[in-house]
């Protein structure tokens, strides 16, 4: 099949299934990926996320993960459904967490794309992923021309700001490749670093998960230790502060067209009184197929109790 035809077909299909942006990069080894990851891990900025230490050779070199890989098709999907804090009572959950788990949605869409091109050419093989495979997806999205990695370490697009989920389709065929997004359009802006209430953004493009509200409320397991307890600032799942202040998000954010990302249960409108009364049965009902399931009922209740305690101490 002609490379130009196949490239256009893949991009058209990605947009047809609902992705907001698509770009393609050639599979190559980039030593900087390995250097960045190694330095981050040496400083223990992964906190208790020890799985980040696993599969480093695969994570920093896709060919070690899939030896026949030729092309990385990167996609972005706008998930913005309104600010998590604007006109809403405390406590807050991250914007992305009020809808259906993005892993489910992105993988479902990428599966359709792979099936479509495989039906046209049975020699095309590959795999799709969304955050769960050892892929440095933000770096590949930048190489595919989707946007640039901002100082808050999220990928920023010109069209939607950083309110995008990323996914990848990696195949064994050479395609026409897009130019890497080589500009750093953050410029001299440091608003995300200045706004982080826990100083988790220790420097430009450097996130210390130990201090990050998102990490603490989602990934951290067990009870909070007194010696390293951070102020949750009324967040009970995730945190959007560094994204809320980003000028690109303020200017270019637009409501998602993906119905599954909408706030189905008006979770943003719930106050502390509601969350304190939430029982496990209601939790399972509301958060079926939701990202919030990751922290489990016990983790969410732990977050709620600490956030409210800190809220009252601030009064």
Q: Which residues are designated catalytic?
A: 131
Cα separation, 12 vs 308, whole angstroms? 48
CA distances from 292 to 104, 154, 209 (A): 13, 20, 18
133 Cβ neighbours under 8 A, 6+ residues apart: 65, 127, 168
Whose CA is closest to 186, among 149, 160, 159, 212?
A: 149
Question: DSSP characters for 255-284?
Answer: ----GGGS-TT-GGG--HHHHHH--HHHHH
Identify the DSSP state of 89: -
Cα separation, 308 vs 301, whole angstroms? 11
Whether 83 and 173 have beta carbons less than 8 Å apart is answered as: no
Whose CA is closest to 205, among 184, 179, 228?
A: 184
Sign of CA dihedral 262, 293, 141, 210: positive
Cα separation, 284 vs 289, whole angstroms? 9
Gyration radius (Cα) of the chain, Å: 20
Whether 141 and 22 have beta carbons less than 8 Å apart is answered as: no
Residue carrying the six token digits 């750093």: 184
């Amino acid at each position: 099949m002609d490379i130009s035809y196949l490239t256009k077909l893949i991009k058209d299909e990605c947009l047809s299934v609902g992705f907001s942006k698509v770009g393609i990069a050639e599979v190559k080894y980039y030593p900087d990926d390995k250097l960045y990851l190694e330095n981050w891990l040496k400083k223990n900025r992964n906190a208790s996320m020890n799985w980040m230490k696993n599969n480093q050779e695969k994570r920093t070199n896709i060919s070690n993960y899939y030896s026949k890989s030729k092309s990385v098709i990167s996609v972005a999907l706008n998930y913005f459904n309104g600010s998590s804090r604007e006109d809403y009572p405390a406590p807050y959950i991250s914007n992305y967490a009020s809808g259906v788990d993005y892993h489910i949605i992105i993988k479902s869409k990428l599966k359709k794309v792979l099936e479509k091109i495989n039906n046209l050419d049975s020699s095309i093989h590959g795999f799709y992923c969304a955050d769960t495979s050892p892929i440095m997806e933000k770096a590949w999205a930048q190489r595919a021309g989707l946007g640039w990695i901002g100082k808050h370490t999220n990928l920023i697009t010109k069209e939607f700001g950083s309110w995008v989920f990323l996914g990848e389709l990696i195949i064994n065929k050479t395609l026409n490749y897009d130019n890497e997004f080589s500009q750093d359009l953050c410029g001299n802006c440091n608003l995300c670093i200045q706004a982080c209430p826990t100083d988790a953004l220790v420097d430009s493009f450097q996130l210390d998960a130990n201090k990050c509200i998102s990490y603490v409320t989602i990934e951290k397991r067990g009870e909070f230790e007194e010696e390293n307890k951070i102020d949750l600032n009324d967040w009970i799942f995730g945190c959007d502060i560094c994204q809320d202040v980003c000028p690109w998000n303020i200017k270019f954010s637009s409501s998602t067209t993906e119905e599954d990302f909408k706030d189905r249960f008006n979770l943003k409108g719930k106050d502390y009184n509601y969350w304190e009364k939430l029982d496990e049965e209601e939790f399972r009902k509301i958060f079926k197929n939701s990202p919030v399931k990751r922290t489990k009922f016990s983790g969410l209740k732990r977050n709620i109790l600490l956030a409210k305690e800190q809220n009252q101490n601030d009064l």
